[in-house]
Chain A
Amino acid sequence: DGGITQSPKYLFRKEGQNVTLSCEQNLNHDAMYWYRQDPGQGLRLIYYSQIVNDFQKGDIAEGYSVSREKKESFPLTVTSAQKNPTAFYLCASSPVSGSMSSYEQYFGPGTRLTVT
Chain B
Amino acid sequence: AQKITQTQPGMFVQEKEAVTLDCTYDTSDPSYGLFWYKQPSSGEMIFLIYQGSYDQQNATEGRYSLNFQKARKSANLVISASQLGDSAMYFCAMREPPNAGGTSYGKLTFGQGTILTVHP
A residues adjacent to B (C-beta < 8 A): 31, 33, 35, 40-45, 48, 50, 56, 58, 88, 90, 92, 94, 96-107, 109-110, 112
- What chain A residues lie within 8 Å of B43 (beta carbons)? 88, 90, 109-110, 112
> In chain B between 27 and 54, which residues have their CB closer than 8 angstroms to a CB of chain A?
29, 31-33, 35, 37, 42-45, 47, 50, 52-54
Interface residues on B, range: 20 to 34
Q: Establish whether residues A102 and B97, one from each chain, have CB atoms under 8 Å apart when the complex forms.
A: no
In the complex, the 10 A-B pairs of residues with the closest C-beta atoms, listed nearest first: A107-B45, A104-B47, A42-B110, A43-B110, A99-B97, A110-B43, A42-B112, A102-B50, A31-B106, A99-B31
B residues adjacent to A (C-beta < 8 A): 4, 29, 31-33, 35, 37, 42-45, 47, 50, 52-54, 91, 95-98, 103-113, 115
With A48-B106, A104-B47, A109-B44 given, name 4 new contacts (CB 8 A): A42-B4, A50-B106, A99-B98, A110-B43
Q: Establish whether residues B44 and A97, one from each chain, have CB atoms under 8 Å apart when the complex forms.
A: no
Shortest B53–chain A CB gap in Å is 7
